[in-house]
Amino acid sequence: MENKTTELNLVTGGTGLLGSHIVEQLCKRGRRVRALVRRGSDTSWLKTQPVEICEGDITLPESLTKACEGVTRVYHAAARVGDWGPWEEFQQISIDGTKNLLEAATGAGVKRFLHISSISAYGHVDGDGLVIDESAPLGQCLNKWSYYSRAKVAAEALVWAASRAGKIEVSVIRPSWLYGPRDRATLARMVTALRAGKTKLIGDGTNRLNVVHAANVAEASILAAESEAGIGEAFNCSNDGVMTQAGYFNAIAAAIGEKPVTKTVPYKVAKTAALMFEIVGHLFGLKKPPLVTRYSVWLIGRHSFFETKKIKDQLGWESTISYEKGIPGAVEWYLRECETGSTPVGISAARA
């Protein structure tokens, strides 16, 4: 086998939150990196890294042949993110895009395919004290408009089919709600809401939250992709320790000098209101996401928890960035970006 410093790694979604952290962590380890970017994408951060930028698009199969040339490992982080929008976009980007990339990778003789899925692929399961590990089935309790989750399930199915056919070695990472530097979506939304005093806890806020720093997930991805123990395995990578819903919101509030969140709304009330918002949105074909969706209510207010024991035991993964360090650091980055005009406060957020 070649030395890992000479092997070439292809990263899709390199201009996004997780993809950019995978690029960063690979570069820190002295790995060769090629980043696939769409024409017109903001590559300003990527250009600060020692990477090869390759123009292409996972929805355009003809652009992927060159991108996969000479590649040993593919880190597939590109996807249609968010819980709102037409199904056709999720189909084209998350499902067909994965299929296109798999075909290009196998055709080019790529050894390993690291696929970024999501804990939402398990479905919107919930229950007091329910702990979910990698043995749980996918696609449970999905509602009609759970497009993001349905697309993640379908994309994973394609990856596992390629693995069973012996076409390529695969590993799957299932992250949860991501945060960290270069998060221009959820942090913007939360800071805006906290400053306006509009943030409410769903339930009493004591439920344990699955939230994880993007750099920690990037490290987990590299461990899985470079380890023999990661072949043919899926790993949850969904928390950096113990963090409650109230603890997370209030840590961000403290970092921006705001008071703790005290307002609450019952989980069932929030879920019912979200359903009404969704019905209106779909009825009138609204492109802008509603104020709240059932997915976002589940993401924040659920009482089930996603376990990370497997990746710790099999790969030795541990979070290197704690909540105590990571949350203030992410907020500091965001506020600095706002001051320079790079990220406007109140930017429309794509959900985790």
Residue carrying structure tokens 């290009």: 104
76-119 pLDDT per residue, tens: 999 999 989 999 999 999 999 999 999 999 999 999 999 999 99
In a domain, 349, yes or no: no
Residue 226 in any domain: the answer is yes
Indicate the Cα dihedral angle 335, 343, 210, 290, nearest 10°.
130
pLDDT at 2 over 60: no
- Token pair of 77 as six digits: 């982080």
Q: How far apart are alpha carbons 53 and 294 in whole angstroms? A: 38
Residue 94 belongs to some domain of the structure: yes
User: What is the amino acid identity at position 89?
Assistant: E
Q: Is residue 328 part of a domain?
A: no
Q: What is the pLDDT of residues 187-236, one digit of tens each?
A: 999 999 999 999 999 999 999 999 999 999 999 999 999 999 999 999 99
In the predicted model, what is the mean pLDDT of residues 9-24? 97
Distances (CA, A) of 117 to 31, 153, 252: 23, 8, 26
- The reply to whether 74 falls in a domain is yes
Q: Quick check: 55 and 38 in contact, CB under 8 A?
A: yes
Residue 20 lies in a domain: yes
Please, which pLDDT band fits residue 340 given cuts at 50, 70 and 90?
confident
Query: Does residue 248 sit within a domain?
Result: no
Instruction: Note the pLDDT of residue 341.
Output: 64
Q: What is the pLDDT of residue 342?
A: 59
Establish if 222 belongs to a structural domain: yes
CA 351 – CA 224 distance, rounded (Å): 25
Domain extent for 90? 8-184+210-240+305-320
Q: How many domains does the chain have?
A: 1
Residue 32, amino acid: R
If DSSP codes are grouped into helix, strand and coil, which group holds residue 347?
A: coil
Handedness of CA 168, 174, 179, 185 (dihedral sign): positive
Q: Given a cut of 60, is residue 33 above it in pLDDT?
A: yes
* Domain CATH code at residue 137: 3.40.50.720
What pLDDT does 157 receive?
98
Residue 250 backbone phi and psi in degrees, to 5? -75, -25
Please give the helix or strand (H or E) that residue 91 lies within, else none. Answer: none
DSSP lists the bridge partners of residue 12 as 36, 76
Strand-pair partners of 55? 37
Contact between 81 and 118 (Cβ < 8 Å): no
Q: What is the pLDDT of the chain when averaged over all its residues? A: 94
Torsion angles phi and psi, residue 201, rounded to 5: -80, 140
Please work out, in degrees rounded to the nearest 5, the angle formed at the alpha carbon of residue 298 by the alpha carbons of 322 and 137: 90
Q: Residues 149-177: what's their mean pLDDT?
A: 98
